[in-house]
Amino acid sequence: MQAMLLTKYMHLEMVEMAEPTIGPDDVLVRVRACGICGSDVHGLDGSTGRRLPPLVMGHEAAGEVVECGANVTDLKAGERVTFDSTVYCGRCFFCARGDINLCDNREVLGVSPGPYRRHGAFAEYVSVPRRIMYRLPDNLSFEQAALIEAVSVGVHAVNLTPIVLGDTAVVVGSGMIGLLTIQAVKHAGAARVIAVDTVDDRLVRVKEPGATDTVNPKSTDAVEAIKALTGGHGAAVALECVGATEPIQTAIASVRKGGTVTLVGNISPEITLPLQSVVSRQIRVQGSCASNGEYPASIDLMSSGAIKVDTMISAVAPLAEGPSWFDRLYRHEPGLMKVILRPGA
Ligand SMILES: [Zn+2]
Ligand SMILES: [Zn+2]
């Protein structure tokens, strides 16, 4: 099969590879669409240590069932499917608790951090365990389905966040995850959603997904502006989708006493935490990792039109053009959000 292989850091190459073999609980999928994730772009230069070459990356994908392992009896060839990126073990302490996103033996498709190497979906075929696979409704395209993983990240973060109908929510960061989180928090009952971003061009696009107000901390005192919009108290909750000291401090300062800050962004390994503000105002600060069973809900939200992803798809291109799209994303070409590659196209 044709695959896009990371042969060494900063070098992606289209190669001919053997089709993956499947175990009894696996399904062989013909990949129809696979999104380029930010983590794949970061993985390109080896800085994350999670994509040791040689590796076929790609974990945001959808396609058609080709063949099922002996134990897989409920799917047949030709069915349209998508799958989670995280392969949980189903046996560890955390899996037994239902926290499959926190699995001790978690593996991610298209990742090779050392202890394991799982080739991903930038290829014509990929082998995926049945237990992380979901059928696609007819009204979702393969390209839209390639964004379900990102949607599930926003849905999970909102599910962890205590929101009461009519609350005000602050969403810091208006990148793709921010835009999806805005939509999710709106559907969770937030009457007012305040989008915070330091780039005005990004704040232009937050209204359509459902933000009611925008604040740019570069040009205004964000905390004062948010207080002014919330009767002087601050917002009930904030969801932080950047992952650095300044935006996290903004998120913490933007919630009212007793409020909750959910951290989704994950760029800086360490940040400066305003401890006294958190403790003395009794703020709950919590992390949100990937998703935990939110795939079916995310699919339903997209299928019903409650969460829309089309405007986030910047380009759909044949897999063979993948290396050049990676290059453009790596160089932070302005305006690019999700790029989707189509094997066999
Ligand atoms: Zn991803
Ligand atoms: Zn486990």
Per-residue pLDDT 10s for the chain (345 aa) are 999 999 999 999 999 999 999 999 999 999 999 999 999 999 999 988 899 999 999 999 999 999 999 999 999 999 999 999 999 999 999 999 999 999 999 999 999 999 999 999 999 999 999 999 999 999 999 999 999 999 999 999 999 999 999 999 999 999 999 999 999 999 999 999 999 999 999 999 999 999 999 999 999 999 999 999 999 999 999 999 999 999 999 999 999 999 999 999 988 889 999 999 999 999 999 999 999 999 999 999 999 999 999 999 999 999 999 999 999 999 999 889 999 999 987
Residue 278 Cα, ligand 1 centroid: separation in angstroms? Answer: 30
Residue 122 Cα, ligand 1 centroid: separation in angstroms? Answer: 13
Nearest bound ligand to CA 103?
2
The pLDDT score that the predictor gives to residue 335 is 86
pTM above 0.85, yes or no: yes
∠ Cα 155 161 165 (to 5°): 90
Q: Which is nearest to 263 in space by CA: 249, 276, 274, 277?
A: 249
Residue 94 Cα, ligand 1 centroid: separation in angstroms? Answer: 22
Cα–Cα dist 307/162, whole Å: 20
Residue 61 Cα, ligand 1 centroid: separation in angstroms? Answer: 10
The pLDDT score that the predictor gives to residue 48 is 84
The pLDDT score that the predictor gives to residue 185 is 98
Residue 98 CB contacts under 8 Å (≥ 6 apart), including other chains = 292, 293
Residue 83 Cα, ligand 2 centroid: separation in angstroms? Answer: 17
Q: CB count, 10 Å around CB of 188?
A: 18
DSSP 72-86: --S--TT-EEEE-SE
Beta bridge partners of 64: 30, 80
Q: What is the DSSP letter of 20?
A: P
The pLDDT score that the predictor gives to residue 49 is 87
Cα–Cα dist 163/106, whole Å: 29
Residue 227 Cα, ligand 1 centroid: separation in angstroms? Answer: 34
Residue 92 Cα, ligand 2 centroid: separation in angstroms? Answer: 4
The pLDDT score that the predictor gives to residue 142 is 98
The pLDDT score that the predictor gives to residue 47 is 85
